[in-house]
């Protein structure tokens, strides 16, 4: 009787691990060469949580190509740094199970629950969680701001002649070497 109970518990645990750890992810985007479908799903969920569609900047994180951007940056890293980034993605995916506020895989949470999980990470008393949030946010922000449509919408295009059309400096604000001459 005890052996049957142990067998049922082990089977239930294995089923839970397989279901939560491996199933339920979208098919892999073949344009990505180095990250798998789980990592793609986590990056897409984080990107759309940090940069939702329809705000002042109309592009969402996935529309701005953050998954492909992440994949390209990931490919250029040394092997040890790729492993650290992979662990960061695993941590972000499974942290809501451990820390909440809502229990479940990050990619299975609703948009509001993802926002709450990201907020909890950013305000956590645990330095490691805050560091993970900042690391992921920095990587995704670099990719988001590098997109041409985002750049155009925020008005940060290149200006090859930044001082054209500016009035000359007033005498009180002239550089010291100009005043002494």
Q: What is the pLDDT of residues 119-171, one digit of tens each?
A: 999 999 999 999 999 999 999 999 999 999 998 888 887 777 877 777 666 66
Is 98 within a domain? yes
Q: Are 136 and 88 in contact (CB under 8 A)?
A: yes
- Rounded CA gap, 23 and 41, in Å? 12
Q: How far apart are CA 124 and CA 5, in angstroms?
A: 39
Q: Is residue 4 part of a domain?
A: no
In-domain check, residue 143: yes
Residue at 121 is within a domain: yes
What single-letter DSSP state applies at residue 28? P
**Per the domain annotation, does 165 fall within a domain?**
no
In a domain, 125, yes or no: yes
Percent of the chain with pLDDT over 70: 79
Give 103's pLDDT tier (boundaries 50, 70, 90).
confident
Question: Burial of 51 by CB count in 10 Å (0-12 exposed, 13-18 middle, 19+ buried)?
Answer: buried
Q: Please compute the mean of the pLDDT values over residues 13-36 and round it to a whole number.
A: 65
pLDDT band at 10 (very low <50, low <70, confident <90, very high): low
Residue 117's SS3 state is helix
Total count of domains within the chain: 1
The CA-based diameter of the chain, rounded to the nearest angstrom, is 100
In a domain, 59, yes or no: yes
Other C-beta atoms within 10 Å of 129: how many? 19
When pLDDT is averaged across residues 86-93 and rounded to a whole number, the result is: 95
- pLDDT-derived band at 174, boundaries 50, 70, 90: low
The whole domain housing 52 covers: 32-154
Rounded to the nearest integer, the mean pLDDT of the chain is 84
- Residue 146 DSSP symbol: H
The answer to the question of residue 9 being in a domain is no
Q: What is the pTM of this model?
A: 0.73
Residue 146 token pair:
């590098």
């Amino acid at each position: 009787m005890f052996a049957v109970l142990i067998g049922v518990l082990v089977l239930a645990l294995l089923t839970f691990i397989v279901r939560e750890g491996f199933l339920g992810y979208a098919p892999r985007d073949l344009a990505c060469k180095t990250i798998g479908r789980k990592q793609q799903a986590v990056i897409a969920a984080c990107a759309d949580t940090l940069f939702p569609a329809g705000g002042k900047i109309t592009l969402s994180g996935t529309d701005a190509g953050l998954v492909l951007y992440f994949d390209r940056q990931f490919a250029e890293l040394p092997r040890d740094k790729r492993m650290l980034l992979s662990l960061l993605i695993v941590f972000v995916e499974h942290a809501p199970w451990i820390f909440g506020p809502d229990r479940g895989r990050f990619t299975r949470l609703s948009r509001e629950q993802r926002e709450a999980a990201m907020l909890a990470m950013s305000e956590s008393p645990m330095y490691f969680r805050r560091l993970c949030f900042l690391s992921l946010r920095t990587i995704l922000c670099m990719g988001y701001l590098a997109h041409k449509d985002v750049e155009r919408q925020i008005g940060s295009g290149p200006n090859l002649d930044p001082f054209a059309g500016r009035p000359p400096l007033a005498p009180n604000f002239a550089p010291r070497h100009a005043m002494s001459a």
